Amino acid sequence: MKVPTATTVESPIMIDVRKIGSVELVNLLTKNQTYDNISKKVQLNTRLGQYAKLRLTMFQPTSTPFKEKDEEEKQSAMQLLGNNRAREKFLRFTIKMQADAQLELITIPFIELPFSEMRPMVIDIHRNLLRLGLQPVFFVDLKYEEFQPLIKLLIDELQSKAVGLIYKPYRTAAVNYDLISRYHDHDVVFITANTNRYDTDFDDIATMHYLPFYGNDVYAVARPPPFHETYDSVDGGGKKRLVQPRLQSIRFFSKQNLKVKPATESNVDSILSDFENRDHEVLGPILQNRAEANGDLDKWSSLNYLSKVHELHTSLVEFGRLQQFIDKSETKQYLKEKPALKPVLTQLKPTTLNGFS
Q: Tell me: the pLDDT tens digits for 83-100?
A: 999 999 999 999 999 999
CA distance 201 to 343: 10
Q: What is the DSSP secondary structure assignment for residue 65, as one 8-state letter?
A: P
pLDDT for 154 beyond 90? yes
CA distance 3 to 34: 35
Stretch 41-70: mean pLDDT, rounded?
A: 80
Q: Which domains does the chain have, with CATH numbers?
A: 13-65+76-221 (3.20.20), 239-356 (no CATH)
pLDDT for 266 beyond 50? yes
Band the pLDDT of 109: cuts 50, 70, 90: very high
Which pLDDT value is given to residue 68?
A: 63
Which pLDDT value is given to residue 241?
A: 57
- What is the maximum alpha-carbon separation in the chain? 70
Burial 41-70 (b: 16+ CB within 10 A, else e): ebbebbeebeeeebbbbbbbbeeeebeeee
* Selected residue with higher pLDDT from 1 and 47: 47
Which residues touch 198 (CB under 8 Å, ≥6 apart)?
204, 205, 206, 207, 251, 259, 260
Mean pLDDT for all residues in the chain? 83
CA distance 308 to 301: 11
pLDDT for 2 beyond 50? no
Per the CB < 8 A criterion, the answer to whether 215 and 184 are in contact is yes
Which pLDDT value is given to residue 158?
A: 96
Per the CB < 8 A criterion, the answer to whether 280 and 343 are in contact is no
Specify the range with the lowest mean pLDDT, choosing from 16-25, 64-73, 279-288: 64-73
Which pLDDT value is given to residue 6?
A: 40
Stretch 344-348: mean pLDDT, rounded?
A: 75
Stretch 54-67: mean pLDDT, rounded?
A: 84
Stretch 59-77: mean pLDDT, rounded?
A: 79
Of the ranges 14-28, 62-76, 144-158, 322-336, which is most confident?
Answer: 144-158
pLDDT for 72 beyond 90? no
**CA 218 from chain center: how many Å?**
9
Angle of the 297-327 helix axis to the 280-288 helix axis, nearest 10: 110
Which pLDDT value is given to residue 107?
A: 95
Pairing of strands 105-108, 135-141: parallel
Q: Following DSSP, what letter does each residue of 172-227 receive, concatenated?
A: GSHHHHHHHHTTTTSS-EEEEEEE-SEEGGGTTEEGGGTGGGGT--EEEEPPPPPP
pTM greater than the 0.95 cutoff:
no
Which pLDDT value is given to residue 216?
A: 59
Stretch 317-332: mean pLDDT, rounded?
A: 86
Which pLDDT value is given to residue 282?
A: 79
Q: Tell me: the pLDDT tens digits for 218-261?
A: 666 666 555 545 555 555 555 555 556 788 889 999 999 999 99
Q: Tell me: the pLDDT tens digits for 174-194?
A: 899 889 888 877 888 898 888
Stretch 117-139: mean pLDDT, rounded?
A: 95
Rounded percentage of the chain residues whose pLDDT exceeds 70: 81
Residue type, 6: A
CA distance 345 to 177: 12
Closest CA to 143 of 172, 111, 184, 103: 172
CA distance 62 to 17: 12
Which pLDDT value is given to residue 174?
A: 86
Which pLDDT value is given to residue 348?
A: 58
Per the CB < 8 A criterion, the answer to whether 221 and 192 are in contact is no
CA atoms within 13 A on the CB side of 170: 26
CA distance 228 to 352: 41
